[in-house]
Each structure stands twice: as C-alpha cells, then as structure tokens.
Amino acid sequence: MNVNTSRRGFLKGAAATGAVLVVGLRPDGALAASGNPTMLTPFVQIGSDGSVTAIIKHFEMGQGPATGLSTLIAEEMGLSMDQIGYDFAPSNPQIYNNTLFGPMQGTGGSTAMANSYLQYRQAGAAARDMLLQAAAQAWGADVSDLSFADGMISGAGKSAPLGDFVEAAAALEAPAEPRLKDPSEFRLIGNPDVRRLDSAAKGNGTAMFAMDIQRPNQMIAMIARPEQQRATAVSVDASGAEGIKGFISAGVLPNKAGVAVFAESTWAAMQARNAISVEWDTSNAETRSSDQIEAEIRAALEAEPTYNVNDADVMAVRAAIDGADTVVEETFYFPLLAHAPMEPLNCTIEQTEDGGILMHDGCQIPTLPHGALAEIFGVPFEKVQIRTVLAGGSFGRRATPQADYQVEAAMAFTLTDRSRPVHLVWSREDDLRSGYYRPAFGHKVRVGLDGSGNIVGWEHRVAGQSIMKGTPFEAFAVQNGIDHSSVEGTVDSPYQIPMASFGLTDTEKATSTLWWRAVGHTHTAYVMEVMMDMAAVAVGIDPVDFRLSYLNGDGPDQQRKAAVLQLAAEKANWGNAPAGRSQGIAVHKSFNSYVAEVVEISGTAEDGIKIEKVTCAVDCGVAVNPDVIKAQMEGAIGYGIGHNMRDKITLTEGVVDQFNFPDYEPLRISDIQEIEVHIVPSAEPPTGVGEPGTPPAAPALANAIAAASNLRIATLPMNDNGASFV
C-alpha cells in the first residue's frame, strides 16, 4: 500500500470507520452491543483487525485491576493474555459505576474485583457468543459445532480469526444472559502464571503516569499553602519571583485556600513558590498540637462513651469483668498517618475547543471531581471529561470527598485565560503536610477471664476522629450517629465473644481525616489481636488455640477465619520457631476477606529487632489472579508494618512537624527479610485484596515483640516505646 504521510488524517479517518464490536451495559443495566463505539460505553471493544481491548472502569494504582478485569474478558472470550489490551474508562457514573457504591464511579474499599467479576465476564461471554453466532451464519453452520480458542473460531471444517466476524456480530442483538464458563473450564482465572499487563511499560520508563502528562504549551502550577489548616490567603507579593527564569505569575485562589504560582517548568514553579511572600489570615486557623489531640482522645476513653454501638448491657458486662478471675486491660493510641503515595499528587486541566473541560488524572473516584469541575466552570456534566491515567500509588489519598487536589487545579485554572493547559504539581512536602490523614484513634479494652481461661466479659471503648461525618458519604456510612468506619473490625468481628460491649465517642477533628489503606481496621485489628494475645498469655493458653475457641461456630465467617489462622500457623511452623527467634500471630477479616499473618523476628526490643519472615494466609474467595493477590499481600504487609514501626504525623500549634521522607521514613528493602503468601482455594465470590493484608501485620509484629521482650506496645509507632529495629 502506498502510504502518503500528508494524508495521515484521512487514513486515520478511514481506520476509524473499520468495523468494531463493543459490548457493555445499557443505562438500564441490560447487556448491550453495538457497532458504533460512540453509541455505547463498553466493557470490551473488538476491532476488525482482531484487537480486543478491555475498558477498565477502575483506576490502576498498582493493585492490578487492569490485569484483573482484562483476565475476566479474556477468560470468557477464550483469548490468551497477550491477545488483550486495556484502556481506562472515561468518567460516566451511570455505566461505569462501582455497583457497590451506587451511582458513583470509583475505586476503594477493595471492591474492584468484587463488583466487576460478573459484569466483565458477562461482557466477554456476550462478545464471544455474538462472534460465534456471526460465524455460524456466515458459514451456514450450527453454533454448537463451532469453538473459540486463542482468537480463532473453528468448526464445520473452517477456521478464521475473530476479527472476520466483527462487522456481522455488531449487527446482532446482545444475548440477555450469555453462558458463563463453569469454573472447571477456567484457564486464566486462578492461573498463577498469568502475568500483569503493565509490567513491561513500568520497567522501561514508557508507562504514563499523571505526572508524565505534558500537554502542548502547558504551564506548571504549584500552590503556596498556609502552615495551619483553615488559614486563608489574603494577598501575595510576587516581586521576589520576578527574576526567576520561567516564572509566569502568582495569584490568590478564588477560595483563598492558597496562592497559585504559574511557571514554564516545574523547577521554576518550585523556586518561585519559595520566593513569593503571602499574607495569611490565621484568625480561624487550627492551633491545636498533637499532644492535645491525644489528651482529648485519652480523656474520652475514660468517660462513658457517647454511643453504645452494639446496644450492650454495659453494666452487666462490667459486672462480669469485675467478677472474673483474671482481668486484662490496655489503653491504645494510634497517631495521625500520611498516605504518601510514591507519585506526588498532580493533575492537568485544559479547556477543549468546544468550551468543555478536560482533566488528565490518576483518578480514583471520577464522579466526585467530575461534579466539582462542572460546578466550578459552570458547564453541564457532559462537558467535563476525565482521562484516567496510571496512578503512582494512592492508599486512599487520591480519593477525597472534597476532590481536594482536582478542585485546587480547577481553582488555579480559573485564574488563567484558559488558553494554556495547567498541570498542578505537588511536592513531597505538599503531600506530607496536606492535612489529609488517617485519623488519630484511641481504644481502651478490659477483658475478664474465668478460672478455665474463658472470656467472660469484654468492654471496649473507641474514641477518635470520624472519617465520614461531614462528607457526602455520611448518609450511608453513619447510622444512629455511629460512623461504622470508626469501629469496623471490632463489633462485627467473627469472634464469638460473650458479654461484649462496644462504645464509641467522636472527638473533634484537628485535620482532615481520610481513609488510609484498610481504614478503621488499621487500628481496630491491632487492638483486637493484641488483646486476644494478651488474654491468651494471661491464662497460659496457646494464642492460636485461644483464638480458635472463639471461632468454633458453624458460621462461614468463623470457619473461614479459623481456616486462615490454622493455615498460617501450619505454614509458619507455629510454636516451633528456630532458636533465637520469636513468633507473633494475628488474624483479621476486612473487606470480606480473611487474612492471618505470623511474624517471626530475631533480636530483642532493646538490642534491635529484625523481621525475619512473615507468613500469610488469605481467603479472598475465587483467586482471579493469584500472583497479583500474593503481591498485594506482600505490599499490604509492608505498608502495615512500615508505618507502625516508626511513622507518625504530629502537629505543633496546628503546624505539621514533618516535611519529607527523612522525617516520615518509608519502609526500606532491609526491613523485612522474607514474606510467604498462601491462598486458600475457594469457590466463593471474589472479595478484596488491596487492603486486607494490612490490618494483621502490625499486631502480629507487636505480638512477636511481646513474646521476645515482654514489651507490650500500645502506643504507636513502635519505636516510641523503646523498640529498635535493625
């Protein structure tokens, strides 16, 4: 073919008229197919060249949905993994909503696979059935005589690539209920050899993160922010930045939350931001210190809780504990924690030719910034487009109810004449000092045990800063005043504990609170599992046996939790640690998955602890991509252990004390010597994997430290208690 480069536009146009088959959902939720990709927002798009593209409705922060949802399509279509590609879905809360979130598109709560498992399989199965039907018609054969494998349709003495039937298939009706494969027919789902689709690009520098977006003629914007939350910008004097090469301008954001500094390059923006001077109004600024926050929480734990979470007869519980043979009691405190995803927050906003707004973002909950942008720019919802690109981690930080950084970018953009795209860039300091943290929490627990070592009463108080109150999520996350995320993992624990009371008191927020990988479970699992350990030790019963005696009911919840506990104990050779080593165990259910972990350490708290090995057992239902699940457990264990070893965010008179990684030290490669993950085979629907590995990690380590050193750590981080790590 003679390709004339001057006619590329035409060639492209011609290619776009090539047949495609798209399969997705109609707004009423029914499966639908079309030959026109603009008519439907699909889950899968198939070109007449045979290319198959999974359209991923969840964002990819490393947790694997790009691979996972593609696997579902490829499985049902009989493709191999190298025959499928992926693209991120546009923002559309009707079609690409998270079915567990309602009419909202977004990723969180470890739900990506759980809410997509049937949808994407159905789309793949429908595409397969339609292509088979089209082939049967073309060949005058019976559908039942045809088969589909590796992108080829064969039967009736013929064989042809699927692309040949795309045009004809696009004219067919989508089957209402395509036949899904029986699990016994799975070749990809559950196959540990399936590789990630994004590995190569992430290893050779070609992967495109939001930070890598360089729109033609874009400006960089950085924001000068107040030191204290809720202080506001009054005015800016930018004369100090005038000589900086590449500096463009500076202006107070319309919402007064800060000052936008515009420059031709990131370095110029950084320098200019340092050089301007801003007058701040601190009359409403936060002035509390973290010591005060801690004192408020500790005081709340000593008072009668505001909410009786499980409507317990608290007096009876207290009497049972008071009359017990042994009482174990502890008060815990958990500090503020930053998420610190590796890629600092950023996004790019531009105005399209038709006056619409286009944002490029590693976007976790597109529906929230989508609405915010429409409102800020006064354009209809349909005139806002969000192009989701790879996100360099999140751990919850990229999803704020206020769409914080996207709104900030939009505010900055409104200061310009909109002729140039604006790429908002945060520094690491912006990130660590932004004020969005895992809230501080305290727990006070008293457990009474009888002479045989049985729990006869468990009084549990929780106090801390609610995440959901005051956000759009309050309506469904807060019931009778109780923010479930403050107590999840306690009152709903599968442990069958008799005579238990759970109380909650909200304390005032000093910073913005935000879900942080595993949300409430980040503190509740620690408390539950350290208390179980303390109780077991106090009555001289093996910690695994002790836990199992509260998991011996026939409910699946108890059985699944008991099974991971036993598997982790067995694989870690529980109770038989080599000389010089100590073990600790913890087990927790979160996001409908069950995870048990054994941490084995050497050394002592005084001389330095080395984490030699973590053995993990997980039950997350059907393991769609076993290797991705293992990787998520490895990462979640590191996330849980790293922060609890040595990290906290503190405030002095409202000002964050930490600046950058040197004072918020990340987990390093030498901190954990080995992690081994075992997956429980299961036919249950798939549940979460991104978060559930985090909650048991720190308590298992704490229990190992207690076994080695008689040091019970109840105030985090661990190194504030004289525990050192090597």
Partner 1 sequence: MSISLKVNGKTQEVDADPGTPLLWVIRDDLKMTGTKFGCGVASCGACTVHLNGEPVRACQTYIDDVEGAEITTIEAMSEDKIGAALQQAWVELDVVQCGYCQSGQIMSAAGLLRENPTPSATEIDDYMYGNACRCATYQRIRAGIQRAAEILEA
Examine residue 393 and tell whether it contacts ligand FES (CB under 6 A): yes
CB of 563 closer than 8 Å to CB of 723: no
Report which DSSP code applies to 488: T
374 binds, among ligand FES, partner 1, none (CB under 5 to 8 A by kind): none
130: left (phi over 0), alpha (psi -120 to 50) or beta: alpha
Distance of closest approach, residue 605 Cβ to partner 1, in angstroms: 22
* Identity of the residue, 21 or 425, whose beta carbon is nearer to partner 1 in the bound complex: 425
* Identity of the residue, 343 or 408, whose beta carbon is nearer to partner 1 in the bound complex: 343
Rounded Cα gap, residues 692 and 636, in angstroms: 8
* Identity of the residue, 196 or 461, whose beta carbon is nearer to partner 1 in the bound complex: 196
Rounded Cα gap, residues 162 and 17, in angstroms: 18
209 binds, among ligand FES, partner 1, none (CB under 5 to 8 A by kind): partner 1
Distance of closest approach, residue 349 Cβ to partner 1, in angstroms: 18
Examine residue 62 and tell whether it contacts ligand FES (CB under 6 A): yes
Rounded Cα gap, residues 55 and 85, in angstroms: 9
* CB within 8 Å of 186: residues ≥ 6 apart: 75
197 binds, among ligand FES, partner 1, none (CB under 5 to 8 A by kind): none
β-strand pairing of 31-34 with 20-25:
antiparallel
Q: Give residues in contact with partner 1 (CB under 8 A).
A: 60-64, 195-196, 198-209, 211-212, 214, 220, 245, 265-267, 270, 340-344, 390-393, 395, 427-428, 627-628, 631-632, 634-639, 642, 660-662, 666-675
Distance of closest approach, residue 342 Cβ to ligand FES, in angstroms: 4
**First and final CA of the chain: distance in angstroms?**
65
- SS3 assignment, position 481: coil
Distance of closest approach, residue 217 Cβ to partner 1, in angstroms: 13
CB of 597 closer than 8 Å to CB of 696: yes
Distance of closest approach, residue 435 Cβ to partner 1, in angstroms: 19
214 binds, among ligand FES, partner 1, none (CB under 5 to 8 A by kind): partner 1
Distance of closest approach, residue 476 Cβ to partner 1, in angstroms: 29
Examine residue 275 and tell whether it contacts ligand FES (CB under 6 A): no
Rounded Cα gap, residues 112 and 92, in angstroms: 16
700 binds, among ligand FES, partner 1, none (CB under 5 to 8 A by kind): none
* Identity of the residue, 467 or 675, whose beta carbon is nearer to ligand FES in the bound complex: 675
Distance of closest approach, residue 56 Cβ to partner 1, in angstroms: 15
* Identity of the residue, 342 or 548, whose beta carbon is nearer to ligand FES in the bound complex: 342
* Identity of the residue, 205 or 681, whose beta carbon is nearer to ligand FES in the bound complex: 205
528 binds, among partner 1, ligand FES, none (CB under 5 to 8 A by kind): none
Burial string for 622-642 (b: 16+ CB within 10 Å, else e) reads bbbbbbbbbbbbbbbbbbbbb
Report which DSSP code applies to 230: T
Site size with ligand FES, rule: CB under 6 A: 3
* Identity of the residue, 7 or 195, whose beta carbon is nearer to partner 1 in the bound complex: 195
205 binds, among ligand FES, partner 1, none (CB under 5 to 8 A by kind): partner 1
675 binds, among ligand FES, partner 1, none (CB under 5 to 8 A by kind): partner 1
Helices (H) and strands (E) in the chain, counts: 18, 32
Examine residue 695 and tell whether it contacts ligand FES (CB under 6 A): no
- Helices 697-709 and 521-538 pack at an angle, to 10 degrees, of 30
Rounded Cα gap, residues 61 and 691, in angstroms: 13
Bridge partners (DSSP) listed for residue 65: none
Instruction: Determine the distance from the C-alpha atom of residue 439 to the mean position of all C-alpha atoms in its chain, rounded to a whole number.
Output: 16
Both tokens of residue 398?
């990229």
Distance of closest approach, residue 207 Cβ to partner 1, in angstroms: 5
Examine residue 362 and tell whether it contacts ligand FES (CB under 6 A): no
Examine residue 270 and tell whether it contacts ligand FES (CB under 6 A): no
- SS3 assignment, position 521: helix
206 binds, among ligand FES, partner 1, none (CB under 5 to 8 A by kind): partner 1
Could you tell me the CA-to-CA distances from 552 to 359, 471, 546, 555 in Å, in that order?
A: 52, 39, 11, 9
Distance of closest approach, residue 341 Cβ to ligand FES, in angstroms: 8
476 binds, among partner 1, ligand FES, none (CB under 5 to 8 A by kind): none
Examine residue 65 and tell whether it contacts ligand FES (CB under 6 A): no
Rounded Cα gap, residues 96 and 367, in angstroms: 10
Measured on CA atoms in the order 202, 207, 208, 214, is the torsion positive or negative?
A: positive
Distance of closest approach, residue 393 Cβ to partner 1, in angstroms: 4
User: Longest Cα pair distance anywhere in the chain, in angstroms?
Assistant: 93
Measured on CA atoms in the order 626, 519, 468, 426, is the torsion positive or negative?
A: negative
Question: Binding pattern to ligand FES, positions 336-355, x when CB under 6 A?
Answer: ------x-------------
Q: Which of 262, 75, 313 is nearest to 179 (CA)?
A: 75
| Chain residue at closest Cβ approach to ligand FES | 342
Number of residues in the chain: 726
Interface residue list for ligand FES (CB under 6 A): 62, 342, 393
